[in-house]
Amino acid sequence: MKHTDIPVITIDGPSGAGKGTISLRLAKHLDWHTLDSGAMYRVLALAANRYNVPLENESALANLATHLEIYFKPLPDLSATQVILDGQNVSQDLRSEVSGAAASKIAVLPAVRRALLIRQRDFCQAPGLVAEGRDMGTVVFPEAHKKFFLTASCEERAHRRYKQLIDSGINARLSDIIRDITERDKRDSTRAKAPLIAADDAHVIDTTGVSIETVVACILKKVAL
Ligand code: DC
């Protein structure tokens, strides 16, 4: 089966726009696979730190990206996906803002993006894939059947991240999160390679003040499978 025969829904947008939760809900509803591409950048940055690969060494990072043993393990209720690096569950380590910032830094490196793109396309498996990130609709799956771009105000996204971190037992300060999100948005949107931008054929949904259920229902209506 060709990749293009397998239906793909892409969900792109900035940090805290609700991509993760919404992708998991959609995939559960459709009984499809999911790809959290941000987790790939995060786990690569974590591995680089563990194996003493400097975050500026583009070719060493790309090599690590190609050979890294990463495994994504959905929880039985499909409410989340555990990330296993070299046999160890690193999901909790990946959640922090430090991890997000490191991921955003290595994400500007073209060789790293090329190496991860190959691995991301491998997730396109029958019966279908919900892929979330920054460039899923523009670069990784340009032939996707339906594309969505989720946005929300910076304040609302920061509040959501804050709640997520506190709920999962990670200490956080709202003002730090607003600063980090603003920096990360800027870096992700202005990089030369695969910047954060809505695909021309994406449906843009502003999720500010809108419940997850409403966004999921809106997407399912547009997907109409
Ligand atoms: O979605 P996230 O917050 O887990 O992503 C972490 C960083 O990874 C994000 O700031 C930029 C980078 N990223 C990217 O460049 N391209 C993607 N498709 C996904 C994430």
**What is the reported pTM?**
0.93
pLDDT tens digits for range 48-69: 999 999 999 999 999 999 999 9
CA distance 174 to 162: 6
CA of 94 to the centre of ligand 1 (A): 12
Whole-number Cα distances in Å, 66 to 59, 81, 102, 114, 122: 11, 21, 18, 9, 12
Q: List, in order of start, the domains of the chain with CATH numbers.
A: 3-209 (3.40.50.300)
Q: Which residue's CA is the nearest one to ligand 1's atom 16?
A: 134
The Å distance, Cα 105 to ligand 1 centre, comes to: 10
For 70, phi then psi, to 5°, come to: -115, 140
Ligand 1 centre to CA of 75 (Å) is 22
Distance CA 47, CA 166 (A): 25
Structure confidence by residue, pLDDT tens digits, 146-205: 999 999 999 999 999 899 889 888 888 999 999 999 999 999 999 999 999 999 999 999
